[in-house]
Structure 1
């Protein structure tokens, strides 16, 4: 059945509807004939181009203007695209820059995009072409602003010293700054997506993924420390941080992150923590070492109190006290010695020194310990004289400390070896077959507060300051010291190298003193002042046994009163006295008739250079540090 033919009224209604739709369309529409002339434009077109009814521009476009013949459109590449539309192909024309001033119109410049669509007849031929224009000015300006912002961001990101990275909301990494690639040394783009995790240390990868996934799931800031592979191939510690970027609705639109190289800070921090742990261990061990002698001293004191008239018990108790006091003195001397050396307060008496004689003296000092533990000691010395410039006493101390450590840390019946070789420098090696040194401890054996695990066999091993003192003294001599060990149970070797001194004469031998304590040839009137009653009374008894006339006082004011009652030859004063310190007491005693011609000896626990300087200024003739060498005190009294 044939389709009904539309009536004239229907055709008018359709034409009217088309005209209404055409005019009210919210976008610019321009109809072109097949020869490129404009047939019709809608109101949106007029608004876009600033035209109105009666406007010469509009009249020109609707009558004389031919788009296919416009040389400006030809130059901009628009005509070629337009001809494709007239050939029957929908096309998007290049963006046109529109400056109203060129057309004598007011308003700002605009950018316009157009789509050309052919309108075909029943036979498929093109009868008209419809141009749809779109004002894209705001979009282009926004794109330009975005590109400028991105360029500015990249410039800033490349300028800062940190590594900067960015991801999409789902965590896909799509940007890294220049520092990332300089640090890692990888090609640009090779760590996009999830490839970044492969840059981490294998032990850190799972943890980094877990923390990152948690941040993506919750929106919480990302922060983690991990080891990142450096371009050198080493792994360095890095602090990774990231924050979400949210839009006005609170939705995450991007993640911005940084990586900061904290390798050196972490190394220093870990080293400080390790030093603090070693210091705490040292202080705990120091308390233990100082308490150990107190028990036998206390027991000996009880024996003396219980049996004061039993000569054998008195002698045995005195021997116990003497040994334990010597042990405590050695501990305190070690502490003071290390303190003075490490603070640069020790001055060396530099003279030509025979290293072979130094080794012999050191072996003589440590021989009792070596023999007690049943060790076999062998020595091998270079031929001829081996002379260095240095302080003989301190060099003996260096070798004795190394030998003492070797004997102490070697199980009974072990082997010790001392070797002296000469090349460009003197090399002195002390080796043992002992407990060895763990690999992680080896680089730190010469540091203060460093000591291996203390076993019961080493419970009387001292404070572990010997090697720190050795290194400091060797450094003062312009030498070096190194430690080697194949591991626990495989022994260790310490090698000291010193500058060789050629053609120098050896120093004359120094004869040791006999150590005997002579009885005083003349009785001196001596006043001892010390607020430590036990120390003062014990010293008074000792000096009295030598034949001197001794008066002991525990308070400075009583000492001042006593000097008014008689004349004294010698004053032995403590410095740390209550009310009036030893310096002030000495000054006041020296102006009293009973103290004018006396010798003043300081006997104190303060032994720094500043303390000695203050002693000289106060008029002290001699300055002894507790616990003083009593033989030295006796010699001073003999000269007095």
Structure 2
């Protein structure tokens, strides 16, 4: 015969036919039960003096007001240096001390750490019915998921010895239990013939019992749980038996299929003899949210570990607390060995200091973190990486942590270095060509002295073309353009200098001018150089009388450079687009998000180059 089938040999005394169940014992035992409540409890006399306050309430009082209250303290005296807060507390408590029962919600605490609360106030009456004070229950309602404190954190309910001459009566505690949102019951164990606890009978329940279980509180008194809730978990009945037998309180969570699979957190306390008291709270929604969060975390973890990208997180203080699987695969480090600041040992010694400085700068300022460094691969070789991180903030803007990535850019960086080297070599060879041509001109002058005036003019043009080339060529990371503080019209003037003829003012520059950053010099130089070359071949620069007017115009968030040729040979739109023209269009579009339009007028070509200001002046 199973314990569930065993017939009890003793049963608790039932309530009288027309009377309530036996009164539960003792104020001090009821006090043990309330000790476990996560609610914030305060009890005050008519002079606003605290007769009792539990640890949960005292801690919140200290967090909000910066003062730790104790039984016997006057709330008004504690807040004497805070007149506004004192007036607010007095206004609320005076209603309860005046005999009113009510609920109130509000937010308290300093900016950035404010919390929401729901507070219930009730008059406090002695056994004679005379009001001797009031009591308050408070619950934090800041988040959808409330973390319920364990008994070790909840603190006890302390009573001031004869404070203000008022004593808390057992009836007061009953009134208090009737008002809380937790379900509460007192029960007596039922044993089988072998002495094992196989059932229990409800002796007293509060009104919240109905909301928590769906069973009417008036229908359960004097009845065993096996009748009230058929299928109630036998493991919980045995647990209550252990509380009775050992005299040791117990805290646990349980899922009850018989109550639509609701989940509860329960706290059981022995009351002496066969009786025990239980505070319990429906946490079904909290468990559902926790499960959903756990499933979401598991799903996110799977995604994070499956991507071919190093991902890491850090706390708000910079402590690295997570690296995904790809990090350990790349570095060969054992899981957990690179948390904190230990990750730095994987960086190239020459890069550690500047990487730490950049990381500390981001932690202090909250700016996104971005830096290139060399990191040791599991093969032992160092590879170039791009490290990035962005702060994760709450609704108030406070940084909660950092989310970062490491991207392998070794091949890209090697290719860029090769291109830079090739560009420098090409530039060197082109400059050598200019030097060879200049040497040939000088040699010719020595053979034909009468050509010196022509040779001098040609040498000036060659030198100007060399300067234009130095503007237009790509520059390395450690180089600057030939001219600092360059502007668009200044660059244009330098590039068009070779096309000036002595005695002729062939180039006119006017209009708005803007600074130009190094990265924008090359594509714009190529465009101007191509226009000038074509003008020398077919347009205004092909004849001495030809003129070119160039003017700048700010147009909203764009800068437009206008090119207008006059006085040259008649021009016609070409049937096909040459390589130089295609190169210029492609370079302007891809590197500067620019646009170039051409108008082929018989009297001369007009060109308009439009570039976003931020791409031209480097404010992006």
Q: How high is the TM-score relative to the length of structure 2? A: 0.42
Which structure's relative contact order is higher, taking Cα pairs within 8 Å and 6+ residues apart? 2
Structure number with greater Rg is: 1
Q: How high is the TM-score relative to the length of structure 1? A: 0.41
Q: Which structure has more strand as a fraction of its residues?
A: 2
